[in-house]
Each structure stands twice: as C-alpha cells, then as structure tokens.
Amino acid sequence: MNDRATRLLLLASVFVIATCGLIYELIAGTLASYLLGDSVLQFSTVIGVYLFAMGVGSWLSGFVERGESRLFVQVQFLIGLIGGFSAAALFVLFTQVNAFRPVLYGLIFLIGTLVGLEIPLLLRILKDRLEFKDLVARVFTFDYIGALLASLLFPLVLVPHLGLVRSSFLFGMLNVAVGLLSARVLRLSGPWARATSVLGCGLFVLLFGGFLAADRFTSWSERNTYTDPIIHAVSSPYQRIVLTQGAGDLRLHLNGNLQFSSRDEYRYHESLVHPGLARLPMAKRVLVLGGGDGLAVREVLKHPGVEQVLLVDLDPAMTRLFTQLPLLTQLNLDALASDKVRVVNADAFTWLAEAKETFDFVVVDFPDPSNFSLGKLYSTAFYRRLRPVIAPGGAVVVQCTSPLVARRAFWCIDATLRDTGFQTRPYHVYVPSFGEWGFILASLESLPTDLSLPEGLRFLSASTLRGLFEFPPDMDRVDVDVNRLNNQALVRYFEEDWGKVR
C-alpha cells in the first residue's frame, strides 16, 4: 500500500473514531436521563466527566515513549469492547447494584480516557507522513465532521430505529473494525500481529452476538416507565402484562397502559357492575366480556341470586395470572376459581357470532378504543351481535372511556348503542387513578328504576348512585356520528380528544 493510501485510511479512521466517541457519550447521557431522570443534570455531568476524561487520556499519551501503532490498535479494541457493551451493561447494572452513579461515571471516565488517548497517538503516527500544519488541519477536520455525523445519526436514526443497546454494540463493532484495519495499514509485524487479528475478530463476533441478543434488554428498560417496582411481568401473544407494587398500591399495566390501581379499583368495578345488576333482582346468568382480571366478576358474585358467570377474555395469560397469583386472587377474592364462574379464552367478536346462550346481564369491559382493531368492538356491528345474547328484560353495561377527556368518544358509544336499538342510561364516576370515567347502561326494554345494592360496598350507596347519572355541562351530550365498521368514527374522536391532553 502506498503512502498516500495509508494516510487517507488513517484519516478516515479519525472520522470513524470521532463518530464512535461521541456516540458513546450520547448513549451514556441518554441512558442516564432515562434511568435517573433530570436530563439536564445527567447530560451536563456526563459531558463534563467525559471531556475531562479525554483530557486525562491526552495527558497520559505523553507517557507513551514508543510503540504508538500497537497501542493505537489496542486502544481501539478496548474502546470497542467497553463502549460496545456500555449500554447493555448499564441497563443490567442499574437493577443489580445499589450505587449506580459511581458505576456510570466510572464507565464514562474509562471510555473518555481511552478516546482521549486516540487522537494524540494518531497525530504521532501521522507526523512523519504529513507537514505539521496539514496534519493538525486534517485530523481535526475529520474529527469534527465525525462529531457532526454522530450527533445527527444518534437522534434521527440510531435511537428510533436501533435503540440504545443495539447502537452501542454497532459502534463497538466499528471501533474494532478500525483497529483491525489499522493493524494492517500500519504493517504491525511479529507474533503480536497475528494475535491482534485473532483477538480483533473474536471481539467483533462477541459484539455482533450482543447486537443480535439486544432484544433481551427490553425487560430491563421497562423499569423506568413504571414508577413502582415491577413484581411480575409476562408477555403473551396478545400483550405485555406488567404488575407493579408501591406502598400499598398494586397496579396492572397492559402494553404500558394502566388498567387498575388497587387503591381505587373498587370505585371503577362497583360502578361498572352494580348500577345495572342491582336493577335485575331476577338475574341468574351473567356474561363478562374482557375483564380477565376477575374484578368485575368479584362484584357480580356479590349478588347472591347470580348462579352462573361466564367470563370471555382473549388472553389465557391474563386469566391464568388472576386465578393463580396469590396477590391477585386476594384482590379479586378468588372470583375466577368460584364454582359459579366459567372462563373462556376467545375473541369476543368471534365468540359472539357462535354464542347460543342468553344472559340476564352483560358486562362489556374492553380496553379503550385507541386503535382501529379495538374500535370494532364498539361498532354497530358488534352491538347487533350482542343483542341476541341478552335475555328478555336483561341489560348490558359498557365501559366507555372518560366523558370529560374524550367527550365525543363517550357520546359516540351512546349514539352507537341507540342506533342499534338499545335504550341507554349513561353515567360517570370519579376514579382517582383514571380521572372522571364513563359507563353506559343499555337495554332493549325499559329497566326498573328501583334497585337494591348488595352489602359491603365501599363506594356505591343509594345517595352516590343518584349523582352518577347527572352530567354537568362540560361533559354533557354532544351531537356525534354513530360508530360503524366502515367509518370508525369512535377511534377518530378518541384519538383527537385524548390527543389534546397528551
């Protein structure tokens, strides 16, 4: 290889090194912000420590008397290894060690020192091949261009498409590749040269393995989206189920969305079930669609007249969890294990199409209509399929998101039920962890107005009930479209209304 090509390759490596160096810094800063919060503080301290460490590295380079080329390659490998594993290591260590900050800053200091060593070494390697003014000009040009590239790549490409863990492995691989290439370009000789290639290749494979296995780190990453410690997490084919527990507060999250907080879920579930069921003293058979947590079933079982409850929930992982985990069965009072209760894991829409039984009371407790698939479960087509399973004189209650935040969505569900031939009685309740929440009680025939609540309720009473059916002006009825499969009006209202508060 001629001198010109060598020079060019070495300068190109400056560019790559600069990019890698800045990427590690950005990864550390971002990660610290994710894990520790207060991004201004984290980024300032990370940048400070990193730059200081680079200074230390540059100073240390003064003690290197000879063998710059060999050291340069070794430093490359080390940066590749440490930088490459840095994101993964920090995620793991965050959950394993008590003093996370010393680990974080130690790692940053180490990477910074090594990166600080590189440029002085490279300047010395190149000093005989270029005039001093050209040397300094070119090396710093490539250095700064690399920095620009890194700072653009990181937020626009790496974080959204690869994620932190993969990005760090990727740039580790790049560092090792530069090391391998420079070993060739600088014509390292002797037995060490051979060992270098083997070592470099081994490191590269290791980092590549890490790159492929990066998915494993998802679970670590979840820690910071939840305020309380995660006590149980499971992925089913349908959703990610996460339970967290803080001080006296057990919370269930599905795909990151809060489903209930044990502090106030009784408000939600009592309101979901009793205003309807307490009007039907003759009710014997109850159907619950969704609600695999068994909390609605718990409320249903408070009515001694109820003989059979059928729970249809899509996800066996949910119903299994709420049948087996003691913490959860304490909460749902072992409702799913009751002799009166039968659990079917099926898609509600499909199940309804084949349903032959009828029920005196139906509880429809689906997730909010936040996407087009879920929107179908609130359509005229769905309610038309629901009609035949309601026994004469029976009723159905539907959870209907927040009439305060998503006012149009709430009244859209009401309009859809009415369009399908139901009479409706909308009501709402305040659940602290959710906010103002809405339900619609619907029936094909008029329902009795007098009702008898079961014993032992914590929230509902004859006097609280009266207020629930009154809608203040800020969430009163609005004129909206009916939700059909072919217009999905509800999802559009829901997105727009919730979009305003997010």
* 148 vs 501, beta carbon nearer another protein: 148
We find the least distance from the C-beta atom of residue 31 to another protein, in angstroms, to be 9
Instruction: Please work out, in degrees rounded to the nearest 5, the angle formed at the alpha carbon of residue 422 by the alpha carbons of 418 and 426.
Output: 70
Count residues binding another protein (CB under 8 A).
67
We find the least distance from the C-beta atom of residue 415 to another protein, in angstroms, to be 14
For 241, the 3-state DSSP assignment is: strand
| Cα Dmax for the chain | 98
Work out whether the CA dihedral 265, 269, 272, 274 comes out positive or negative. negative
We find the least distance from the C-beta atom of residue 66 to another protein, in angstroms, to be 27
Binding mask 172-211 for another protein (x = CB under 8 A): ----------------------------------------
Binding mask 2-31 for another protein (x = CB under 8 A): ----------------x--xx--xx--xx-
DSSP-derived pairing of the beta strands 285-290 and 359-365: parallel
Q: Does residue number 36 form part of the binding site for another protein (CB under 8 A)? A: no
Q: Does residue number 459 form part of the binding site for another protein (CB under 8 A)? A: no
CB environment 418-443: b (16+ within 10 A), e (fewer): eebebebbbbbbebebbebbbbbbbb
Query: If 0-12 CB within 10 Å is exposed, 13-18 middle and 19+ buried, where does residue 481 land?
Result: middle
Interface positions, 305-344, toward another protein (CB under 8 A): 314
Q: Compute CA distances 414 → 423, 440, 457, 479, whole Å.
A: 9, 7, 27, 10
Interface positions, 47-66, toward another protein (CB under 8 A): 47-48, 50-51, 54
**Which one of residues 154, 411, 437, 494 is an interface residue with another protein (CB under 8 A)?**
154
What CA–CA distance (Å, rounded) separates 431 from 266? 9
Q: Compute CA distances 128 → 110, 122, 123, 124, 201, whole Å.
A: 30, 11, 9, 8, 30
CB proximity list for 388: less than 8 A, separation 6 or greater: 355, 358
* 64 vs 374, beta carbon nearer another protein: 374
Q: Does residue number 269 form part of the binding site for another protein (CB under 8 A)? A: no
The active-site residue out of 313, 365, 414, 497 is 365
Work out whether the CA dihedral 372, 427, 437, 301 comes out positive or negative. negative
Kindly indicate which of the ranges 6-14, 92-100, 153-161, 408-416 contains the residues binding another protein, using the contact rule CB under 8 A. 153-161
What CA–CA distance (Å, rounded) separates 135 from 375? 64
* 209 vs 305, beta carbon nearer another protein: 209
The single residue listed with the structure tokens 């996370």 is 100
Helix axes 163-185 and 191-212, enclosed angle (nearest 10): 160
**Which one of residues 133, 161, 356, 458 is an interface residue with another protein (CB under 8 A)?**
161
Q: Does residue number 164 form part of the binding site for another protein (CB under 8 A)? A: yes
**Which one of residues 4, 486, 500, 502 is an interface residue with another protein (CB under 8 A)?**
486
**Which one of residues 16, 104, 166, 174 is an interface residue with another protein (CB under 8 A)?**
166
* 187 vs 384, beta carbon nearer another protein: 384
Exposure on the CB side of residue 105, measured as CA atoms within 13 A: 14
Q: Does residue number 357 form part of the binding site for another protein (CB under 8 A)? A: no
Q: Does residue number 111 form part of the binding site for another protein (CB under 8 A)? A: no
**Which one of residues 232, 263, 320, 484 is an interface residue with another protein (CB under 8 A)?**
484
Q: What does DSSP assign to residue 465?
A: H
Q: What does DSSP assign to residue 1?
A: -
Q: Does residue number 356 form part of the binding site for another protein (CB under 8 A)? A: no
Q: Is 476 a catalytic residue?
A: no
State residue 323 phi and psi, 5-degree precision: -100, -25
We find the least distance from the C-beta atom of residue 210 to another protein, in angstroms, to be 12
Interface positions, 74-103, toward another protein (CB under 8 A): 87, 91
Residues of the shown chain interacting with another protein in the complex, contacts defined by CB under 8 A: 18, 21-22, 25-26, 29-30, 33-34, 39-40, 43, 47-48, 50-51, 54, 87, 91, 143-144, 147-148, 150-151, 154-155, 159-166, 212, 214-215, 217-218, 221, 237-238, 314, 347-350, 353, 366, 371-374, 376-377, 379-382, 384, 484-488, 491
What residues are labeled active site? Answer: 365
